[in-house]
């Protein structure tokens, strides 16, 4: 056992293989009963010693369909949440030692858009990353869906004005906890990096537009989830009205009295699914421009001053869309034209329709479905490029990467899919050190150990000094629009200037992003 002192009281964690782990430390008061839909409040102090050796609850959320039933033989799964409760505002801390060494701190924001996921998932275990780079890793649980991102500003003027961003304010509160407590866990509060993948990267993007978060972190990594714009107030209001109508309620008090299961079921209907609201023009529960927490979009039309001076590491995977659509029933057997229509109607919207034909020039032998998926992938890639362009225009330092590793599982048909970078970033690609990778079927190939060293090493170097260069990689220049130097992590990692530039040009005048 190992102990530490926080501003709310003492905690007892567990030590294993040289890493001390503290799971479920409260960073704010439980947002239950009269605090449901209110901003996060200060954590309640506790007497004596709080045991934090077991996992705390994740925020209540809808169930996701199991991805890749076809890969069950490789033991690939996607949900590792053990229990749910509205009392979920906690952090997990992984550290090489409870001492005064002042190590770089890496704060992970989980994926799952703004409606599902948990910082407790095994793939986010920070032990190997701590061991590889002598850093402190923190993973965050916060409110999701309606609990964290439902705009109630038009239904009350008493504490609910910023409710569309309370899940984001939870993260700000967790960063304040890091500032005030992480030195006790061997971390340096002046060297905090926020990083996240997919929905976690979208949260990182939003933090770069939050003035209240300025100074709480000093570098940011955006993995496969650039979000350039917050939700517009009118869209947030329409989403709230649709939810009220679905539930048959007309007051916040009535909403507070509903069972959480009822609220989540209605949320999924309004959003069009558990991950509804990623694309298209429908309802959306995500951070919104409210004039209080977010005054302007973080990267549209320019980089928000709230993020100026924060070095950025931005990137994506070569074939993002392959995993994003793999859960759709029967998709492999559909005719290409039907596949495109189904995906456009139900998942991505029709905003890419006019681009698909443009990809015929760069992919003349591809089917219309493959061209559509290439455009979907580039929705993420181009969003990252747009973010980089606007950050550098504001004088910021940016490094760009792309992961091209194609796992042999499923005959290589996934390409280099969405989420493949997570295992590499955390150095969680094996069952060593007591860590079981939940995606270990994706990490069986010969070059995985090298890529794990290269990618986790870059993340660690960036957290340490704001620059991802390290001795296992070729020299990695800053991203500038005259060269567009990009680190390609693949069979032989190398710098490529303006990779797939012809397809980047197809997007001229469009922002991309989630």
Q: Which residues are catalytic?
A: 198, 320, 418
Alpha-helical runs (H) found in 395-512: 420-425, 448-465, 501-506
Alpha-helical runs (H) found in 344-367: 353-356
CA distance 240 to 205: 23
Contact 143, 115 (CB under 8 A): no
> Of 386, 260, 394, 370, which is closest to residue 322 (Cα–Cα)?
370
Please work out, in degrees rounded to the nearest 5, the angle formed at the alpha carbon of residue 226 by the alpha carbons of 166 and 201: 55
CA distance 226 to 382: 9
Cα separations in angstroms, 495 against 212, 399, 441, 476:
36, 11, 28, 7
Contact 388, 399 (CB under 8 A): no
Contact 49, 36 (CB under 8 A): no
Q: Distance from first CA to last CA of the chain, Å, rounded?
A: 42
Alpha-helical runs (H) found in 153-198: 166-181
φ/ψ (deg, to 5) at 251: -150, 155
| DSSP structure class, residue 237 | H
Sign of the alpha-carbon dihedral angle for 57, 60, 65, 67: negative
> Of 186, 189, 146, which is closest to residue 164 (Cα–Cα)?
146
E strands along 96-228, which residues?
A: 103-109, 136-140, 187-197, 219-223
Please work out, in degrees rounded to the nearest 5, the angle formed at the alpha carbon of residue 181 by the alpha carbons of 180 and 187: 110
Cα separations in angstroms, 490 against 221, 367, 414, 482:
19, 25, 15, 24
CA distance 259 to 255: 9
φ/ψ (deg, to 5) at 432: -70, 160
Alpha-helical runs (H) found in 98-207: 127-133, 145-149, 166-181, 199-207
CA distance 428 to 430: 6
């Amino acid at each position: 056992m190992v102990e530490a002192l926080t501003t709310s009281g003492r905690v007892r964690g567990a030590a294993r293989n040289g890493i001390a782990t503290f799971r479920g430390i409260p960073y704010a008061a439980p947002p239950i009963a009269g605090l449901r839909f209110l901003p996060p409040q200060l954590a309640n102090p506790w007497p004596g010693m709080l045991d934090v050796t077991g996992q705390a609850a994740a925020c209540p959320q809808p169930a996701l369909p199991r991805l890749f039933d076809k890969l069950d033989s490789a033991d690939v799964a996607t949900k590792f949440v053990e229990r749910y409760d509205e009392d979920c505002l906690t952090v997990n801390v992984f550290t090489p030692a409870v001492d005064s060494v002042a190590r770089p701190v890496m704060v992970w924001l989980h994926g799952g858009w703004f409606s599902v996921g948990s910082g407790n998932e095994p793939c986010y275990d920070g032990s190997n990353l701590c061991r590889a780079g002598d850093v402190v890793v923190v993973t965050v649980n916060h409110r999701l869906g309606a609990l964290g991102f439902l705009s109630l500003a038009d239904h009350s003027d008493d504490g609910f004005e910023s409710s569309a961003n309370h899940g984001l304010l939870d993260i700000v509160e967790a960063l304040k906890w890091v500032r005030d407590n992480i030195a006790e866990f061997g971390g340096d509060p002046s060297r905090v990096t926020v990083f996240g993948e997919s929905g976690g990267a979208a949260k990182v993007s939003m933090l770069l537009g939050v003035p209240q978060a300025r100074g709480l972190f000093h570098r940011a990594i955006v993995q496969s989830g650039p979000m350039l714009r917050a939700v517009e107030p009118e869209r947030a209001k329409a989403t709230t009205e649709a939810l009220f109508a679905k539930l048959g309620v007309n007051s916040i008090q009535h909403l507070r009295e509903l069972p959480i299961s009822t609220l989540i079921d209605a949320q999924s209907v309004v959003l069009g699914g558990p991950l509804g609201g990623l694309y298209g023009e429908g309802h959306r529960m995500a951070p919104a421009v409210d004039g209080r927490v977010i005054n302007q979009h973080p990267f549209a039309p320019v980089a928000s001053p709230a993020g100026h001076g924060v070095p950025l590491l931005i990137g994506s995977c070569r074939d993002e869309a392959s995993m994003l659509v793999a859960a759709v029933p029967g998709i492999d057997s559909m005719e290409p034209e039907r596949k495109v229509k189904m995906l456009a109607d139900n998942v991505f919207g029709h905003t890419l329709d006019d681009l698909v034909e443009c990809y015929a020039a760069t992919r003349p032998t591809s089917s219309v479905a493959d061209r559509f998926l290439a455009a979907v992938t580039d929705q993420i890639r181009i969003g990252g490029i747009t973010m980089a362009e606007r950050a550098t225009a504001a004088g910021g330092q940016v490094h760009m990467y792309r992961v091209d590793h194609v796992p042999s599982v499923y005959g290589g048909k996934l390409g280099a899919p969405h989420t493949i970078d997570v295992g590499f970033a955390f150095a969680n690609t094996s069952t060593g050190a007591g860590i079981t990778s939940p995606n270990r079927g994706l990490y069986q190939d010969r070059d995985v150990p090298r890529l794990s060293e290269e990618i986790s090493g870059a993340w660690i170097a960036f957290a340490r000094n704001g620059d991802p260069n390290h001795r296992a990689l070729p020299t990695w220049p800053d991203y500038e629009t005259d060269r567009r130097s990009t680190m390609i992590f693949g069979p032989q990692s190398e710098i490529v200037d303006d990779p797939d530039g012809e397809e980047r040009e197809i997007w001229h005048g469009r922002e991309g992003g989630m």
